[in-house]
Amino acid sequence: MTDQIAPFLGTWLLDLDESEFDQSDLPRSGQCRIEEEFGLVTIRMMLVTAEGETVEGEMAAIPGGPGQRLSQSGLADRLLLFFEGDRTLTSEAKRGNEVLMTARRRLSEDGRTLEIEQSVNVPGQGEVVNTAIYRRAQ
């Protein structure tokens, strides 16, 4: 697993020109940091919204594990993290067996670009999708 997660590790910076947000206005800036320690993968996101507000989020799970129980979320009760092939790291937030949110992190062939496609199933509206393109920080 360490070899599989290694290409994803590091700091990624949002490329606003290449990103498309259906859920909200494009943020002013964004950063994603992916770390691994003893098999536990931590993903930290930070965005500065179009209004200038800083929004941060963090998730941690073991890829391929049974999932992390969520106690703070009012919607989801379990977070799963798994690989879809060698170049896609996916997380799903579930309530029971229903998938509420999915984030697919697709790594480019050269390992310098990370596309994060986040979809949310909104009751009464259907699925909304944000596609953010991140570049590896130097």
| 8 A C-beta contact, residue 23 and residue 128 | yes
- Give residue 122's Cα distance to chain centre: 18
What is the reported pTM?
0.87
Residues in the chain, overall count: 138
Question: Given a cut of 60, is residue 27 above it in pLDDT?
Answer: yes
Domain region containing 66: 2-136
CA dist 51 → 17, 31, 58, 68 (Å): 18, 17, 21, 32
Residue type, 46: M
Q: What percent of the chain has pLDDT over 90?
A: 58
Q: How many domains, in total, are found in the chain?
A: 1
End-to-end Cα spacing for the chain: 25
Residue type, 23: Q
State the pLDDT at residue 110: 96
pLDDT in tens, 53-99: 999 998 889 999 877 776 655 677 888 999 999 999 999 988 888 88
State the pLDDT at residue 71: 63
Specify the CATH number for the domain of residue 42: 2.40.128.20
Q: Taking residues 13-26, what's their average pLDDT?
A: 84
Report the C-alpha dihedral over residues 61, 30, 87, 34, rounded to 10 degrees.
-40
